[in-house]
Structure 1
Amino acid sequence: MTQNKILVADDDPFTLTSITSGLSEAGYQVISAQDGRSAVRLGLRERPDLAILDIRMPGMTGIEAARELKERGRISTLFLSAYADREVVEVATREGALGYLVKPINTQQLIPAIEAALKRSAELQQLQRNESDLREAILRNREISVAVGIYMQRYAADEQAAFDAIRAFARFKSLKLANLASELVRESAGRDELIEAIFQHSRKLG
Structure 2
Amino acid sequence: MKNSIVVVDDDPIIRMDLREMLEEEGYHIGGEAKNGQEAIELVAKLKPDLVIMDIKMPVMNGIKASHIIRKMQDTSVLLLTAYSQKELVQDARSAGVAAYLVKPVSEADLIPAVEIALSQKERMDALKHDLQQLKQSIEERKRIEKAKGIVMKAYALEEEEAYRKMRMASMAFRMPLSRLAACILQDGPGQLASMSLPDNG
Query: TM-score scaled by structure 2?
Result: 0.88
Q: Which residue of 2 aligns with 1:67?
A: 67
Q: CA separation in 2, counterparts of 1:79 and 1:173?
A: 55
RMSD of equivalent CA atoms: 2.0
Q: Which residue of 2 aligns with 1:201?
A: 195
Asked if the contact 2:9–2:35 (Cα under 8 Å) also holds between the matched residues in 1, the reply is: yes
Asked if the contact 2:74–2:121 (Cα under 8 Å) also holds between the matched residues in 1, the reply is: no
Q: Which residue of 1 aligns with 2:129?
A: 129
Task: Give the unaligned 5+ runs of structure 2.
Answer: none
1:21 has 2:20 as partner: yes
Q: CA separation in 1, counterparts of 2:71 and 2:141?
A: 29
Q: Which amino acid aligns with 1:128?
A: K
Asked if the contact 1:54–1:81 (Cα under 8 Å) also holds between the matched residues in 2, the reply is: yes
Q: Which residue of 1 aligns with 2:89?
A: 89
Q: Which residue of 1 aligns with 2:184?
A: 184
Asked if the contact 2:10–2:35 (Cα under 8 Å) also holds between the matched residues in 1, the reply is: yes
1:142-153 to 2 correspondence within 5 Å?
142-153=142-153
Asked if the contact 1:165–1:199 (Cα under 8 Å) also holds between the matched residues in 2, the reply is: no
Q: CA separation in 2, counterparts of 1:181 and 1:38?
A: 48
Q: CA deviation at 1:154?
A: 2.6
Q: CA deviation at 1:165?
A: 0.9
Asked if the contact 1:169–1:202 (Cα under 8 Å) also holds between the matched residues in 2, the reply is: no
Asked if the contact 1:8–1:16 (Cα under 8 Å) also holds between the matched residues in 2, the reply is: yes
Asked if the contact 1:20–1:32 (Cα under 8 Å) also holds between the matched residues in 2, the reply is: no
Query: TM-score scaled by structure 1?
Result: 0.86
Q: CA separation in 2, counterparts of 1:132 and 1:63?
A: 30
How many residue pairs are counted as aligned between the two chains?
198
